[in-house]
A and B are shown apart, each in its own frame.
Chain A
Amino acid sequence: MKAPVYFDYAATTPVDPRVAQKMSECLMTEGNFGNPASRSHKFGWEAEEAVELARTQVAALLNCDPREIVWTSGATESDNLAIKGIAQFYKGKGKHIITSKIEHKAVLDTCRHLEREGFEVTYLEPGSDGLIRPEAVQSAIREDTTLVSIMHVNNEIGVVNDIERIGEVCRAAKVFYHVDAAQSAGKIPIDLSTLKVDLMALSGHKMYGPKGVGVLFVRRKPRVRLEAQMHGGGHERGMRSGTLATHQLVGMGEACRIAQAEMSSEAARTLALRERLWQGLNDMEEVYVNGDLNAHVPGIINISFNYVEGESLIMSLPELAVSSGSACTSASLEPSYVLRALGMNDELAHSSLRFSVGRFTTEEDVDAAIAQVRRAVEKLRELSPLWDMYKDGVDLDSIEWAAH
């Protein structure tokens, strides 16, 4: 079987060859392999220089001070450090946190953990468009709230939250604001010199950098303080100990440099691909986009194919690497918590696919995907008793189903 066409850039991206080249120069004897913390010789100085250049490249992408960048192992660690770090440092002030129901598990599970430690968490509901309203954040803030964590771009549906206005709400209430920007950084503009965002998490492998590296932006003015989660040699101003992985950081830096230089052309290209895909599918009956397409990152689209079950759809698309909104492959049989939080009925949530395109996707890939998806959906609808009933004009909600 030939390799499937990759439509899962939101899960991870391949490393850009330019990034891989830079990384490979930081590994072996003849390369820049030193420990950036070694102060006594050239190997250390050169490694430190490479790491600091990378830090500058990340800061340039976000328009912040390089001293506000803390290296981590990925967005999961950054989310953990931000949320636990703030919650624990400021627990004397209050123990209430606000987040949303459609955050990534890195945020949700961290919040759950804090609940077990006696913190209180409010989980905001998105609208049916997938967006979190700044007003909802406003009305959830209490006297004892210390942190709001609302993501920039949702990884399943691709909607973009208004982090500018949410930031203003938080700043006015003197509550810290953390943003999980794993899906937005490098894809859409982020300007931390104007945004009222105090902490921001990035991931290398969502932007053509390597896996195993990420960043936490920690604002200096107004100053944000954190309880470290990893103790040791006091690296990263005590916020995250551990020898810096030169090759990883250099890779992330180069990935940010490329993303910044090519953002507008790349965004236009990926948007055109996504629109081509949707144009090729939207004339089918009972096909819906999830999340507001007017507030969307270019590369992601989540589509429900009514009366077709997601896992069987994926099974009939062996030549496409897509992700199912339905978590049927797990033992839980639960449809995606994100789609459910939008108020979508379970059938539609079970029937959804996430397509994500990126730097190496071509128009031919998209056309092949359209043809395969159409064929698979038609085949499965032929097999579907629900489709029959829909065609016969039966209202599925009028039937008493025996839940099992």
Chain B
Amino acid sequence: MAYSDQVMDHYQNPRNVGKFDDDDAQIGTGMVGAPACGDVMRLQIKVNDLGIIEDAKFKTYGCGSAIASSSLLTEWVKGRSIDEAAQIKNTEIAEELALPPVKIHCSVLAEDAIKAAVEDYRKKLSDA
């Protein structure tokens, strides 16, 4: 199967790979997918007092398209407010990466990941 240049670029030079401390109040973590299905994404956002995402990191177990979707997402969310970030649609990711139909689920997973990370951060905020 041929991959688009965009997928290859993110796959070969993934952006923002890494891990923040889960317990830090500024960090929201979204972990989605399942090993049995062949993909798991962990997306973390670091949010400042104004609700702006200052930094983001990811690690992904999955095919090249899943890795590229999460790498792209970390670039996109930086500098956005958590509300804006939670609005990102899988179709935008799929379009940017030129994902073929069988790989659309990778972009869906990325959308789920940012939503889960934002939710986790909000939960921490309200629990604090």
Task: Give the interface of A toward B (CB within 8 A).
Answer: 307-312, 315-316, 326, 328-331, 333, 335, 345-347, 350, 382-388, 396, 401-404
Asked whether B121 is an interface residue with its Cβ less than 8 Å from the other chain, the reply is: no
A386 CB to nearest chain B CB (Å): 5
**Distance A326 CA – B35 CA, assembled complex (angstroms):** 13
Pick the most buried of A310, A347, A383, A388: most chain B CB atoms within 10 A of its CB: A383
Note all chain A residues with C-beta closer than 8 A to B25: none
With CB as the reference atom, state the residue of chain B lying closest to A382.
B17
**27 sampled A-B residue pairs with Cβ under 8 A:** A309-B61, A309-B63, A309-B66, A310-B38, A311-B64, A312-B62, A312-B64, A312-B67, A316-B11, A329-B1, A333-B105, A350-B36, A385-B31, A385-B40, A385-B41, A385-B42, A386-B35, A388-B42, A388-B59, A401-B40, A402-B33, A403-B34, A403-B36, A403-B37, A404-B34, A404-B105, A404-B112
B36 CB to nearest chain A CB (Å): 4
Asked whether B60 is an interface residue with its Cβ less than 8 Å from the other chain, the reply is: yes
Question: Interface residue tally of chain B, by bracket?
Answer: 20 to 34
Q: Is the CB of B33 within 8 A of A326?
A: no
**Distance A345 CA – B35 CA, assembled complex (angstroms):** 9
Note all chain A residues with C-beta closer than 8 A to B63: 309, 311-312, 315, 328
A37 CB to nearest chain B CB (Å): 44
With CB as the reference atom, state the residue of chain A lying closest to B100.
A331
A398 CB to nearest chain B CB (Å): 12
Asked whether B19 is an interface residue with its Cβ less than 8 Å from the other chain, the reply is: yes
Note all chain A residues with C-beta closer than 8 A to B102: 329-331
Of the residues B37, B42, B59, B60, contact of A404 by C-beta under 8 Å: B37
Note all chain B residues with C-beta closer than 8 A to A310: 38
Q: Is the CB of A309 within 8 A of B38?
A: yes
Note all chain A residues with C-beta closer than 8 A to B101: 331
A378 CB to nearest chain B CB (Å): 13
The secondary-structure label for the interface of chain B is mixed
Note all chain B residues with C-beta closer than 8 A to A312: 11, 62-64, 66-67
Asked whether B55 is an interface residue with its Cβ less than 8 Å from the other chain, the reply is: no
With CB as the reference atom, state the residue of chain A lying closest to B34.
A401
Note all chain B residues with C-beta closer than 8 A to A403: 34, 36-37
With CB as the reference atom, state the residue of chain A lying closest to B41.
A385
With CB as the reference atom, state the residue of chain B lying closest to A331.
B102
Annotate B54-86 by CB proximity to A: 1 below 8 A, 0 otherwise. Answer: 000001111110110000000000000000000
Q: Is the CB of A388 within 8 A of B19?
A: yes
Q: Is the CB of B60 within 8 A of A346?
A: no
Asked whether B51 is an interface residue with its Cβ less than 8 Å from the other chain, the reply is: no
**Distance A373 CA – B40 CA, assembled complex (angstroms):** 22
Given contacts A309-B61, A404-B37, 19 further A-B contacts (CB under 8 A): A309-B62, A309-B66, A312-B11, A315-B3, A328-B38, A346-B36, A346-B37, A350-B36, A383-B60, A384-B59, A384-B61, A385-B40, A385-B41, A385-B59, A386-B61, A387-B61, A396-B35, A404-B105, A404-B112
Sorted nearest first, the 5 A-B pairs with minimum C-beta distance are: A401-B34, A346-B36, A385-B42, A311-B63, A347-B35
Pick the most buried of B31, B35, B40, B108: most chain A CB atoms within 10 A of its CB: B35
With CB as the reference atom, state the residue of chain B lying closest to A306.
B35
Q: Is the CB of A401 within 8 A of B36?
A: yes
Pick the most buried of A312, A347, A388, A402: most chain B CB atoms within 10 A of its CB: A312
Note all chain B residues with C-beta closer than 8 A to A307: 61
Asked whether B109 is an interface residue with its Cβ less than 8 Å from the other chain, the reply is: yes
Note all chain B residues with C-beta closer than 8 A to A326: 38
**Distance A347 CA – B67 CA, assembled complex (angstroms):** 17
With CB as the reference atom, state the residue of chain B lying closest to A308.
B61
Q: Is the CB of A333 within 8 A of B64?
A: no
A155 CB to nearest chain B CB (Å): 21
Of the residues A309, A382, A402, contact of B34 by C-beta under 8 Å: A402
With CB as the reference atom, state the residue of chain A lying closest to B14.
A383
**Distance A350 CA – B67 CA, assembled complex (angstroms):** 16
Note all chain A residues with C-beta closer than 8 A to B41: 385
Asked whether B93 is an interface residue with its Cβ less than 8 Å from the other chain, the reply is: no
